[in-house]
């Protein structure tokens, strides 16, 4: 594929930092289609419902229906967030499409693999600027992307 025709993958979660990433991508890659990716986590209901039970009494796991309902809500939220990112990109003058994607392993690897599947020209992601200590404790999607991605990664800080 012609390198000028390859899309630009933009990670979007609705945060100020991801909004800055969309605006930067629209301004820097004016002739490229932006793919606005919002990652959702299937199985989140099961993880959230697995309590630590120090008493050993046990608990009642959620029903399959409850898990499916939470998964649908997570997916629907990711669709809405990605579409919000598309509107933001279009307001900035870019052509864009929404791409909600289920988290396969972790967010950074999911985005890196998606960029490979799309043959993206680059990945644009916002940085939360957590600082050294919080970043080590909480992890950093942007730092992990720099490690895992085979595509160029542009990390954008939100203006303060």
Quick one: pLDDT at residue 137? 40
Alpha carbon 21 to chain centroid, angstroms: 12
Domains of the chain: 8-148 (3.40.50.620)
The residue among 97, 135, 69 whose CA lies nearest residue 7 is 97
Which residue blocks in the chain are alpha helix, DSSP H? Answer: 16-28, 44-48, 64-91, 107-118, 132-138, 141-148
Please give the mean pLDDT across all residues of the chain.
Answer: 83
Distances (CA, A) of 156 to 10, 23, 90, 111, 136: 11, 10, 19, 16, 19
Q: Say if pTM beats, i.e. exceeds, 0.75.
A: yes
Quick one: pLDDT at residue 135? 44
**Confidence label for 138 from pLDDT (cuts 50, 70 and 90):** very low
- pLDDT, tens digit (0-9, with 9 covering 90-100), for 57-108: 555 666 777 777 777 888 889 999 999 999 999 999 999 999 999 987 889 9
**Confidence label for 42 from pLDDT (cuts 50, 70 and 90):** confident
Instruction: Collect all residues with Cβ–Cβ distance below 8 Å to 141 and sequence separation of at least 6.
Output: 11, 107, 108, 111, 125
The residue among 111, 39, 22, 45 whose CA lies nearest residue 78 is 39
Percent of the chain's residues with pLDDT above 70: 78
d(CA 94, CA 99): 15
């Amino acid at each position: 594929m012609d390198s000028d025709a390859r899309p630009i993958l933009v990670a979007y979660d609705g945060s100020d930092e991801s909004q800055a990433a969309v605006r930067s991508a629209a301004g820097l890659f004016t002739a490229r289609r932006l793919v606005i990716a919002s990652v959702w986590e299937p199985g989140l209901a099961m993880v959230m419902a697995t309590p630590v039970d120090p008493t050993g009494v046990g608990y009642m796991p959620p029903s399959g229906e409850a898990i499916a309902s939470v998964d649908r809500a997570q997916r629907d939220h990711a669709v809405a967030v990605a579409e919000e990112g598309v509107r933001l990109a279009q307001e900035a003058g870019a052509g864009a499409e929404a791409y909600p994607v289920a988290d396969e392993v972790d967010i950074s690897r999911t985005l890196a693999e998606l960029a490979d599947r799309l043959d993206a020209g680059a990945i644009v992601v916002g940085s939360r600027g957590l600082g050294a200590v919080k970043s080590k404790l909480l992890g950093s999607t942007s730092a992990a992307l720099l490690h895992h991605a085979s595509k160029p990664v542009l990390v954008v800080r939100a203006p303060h």
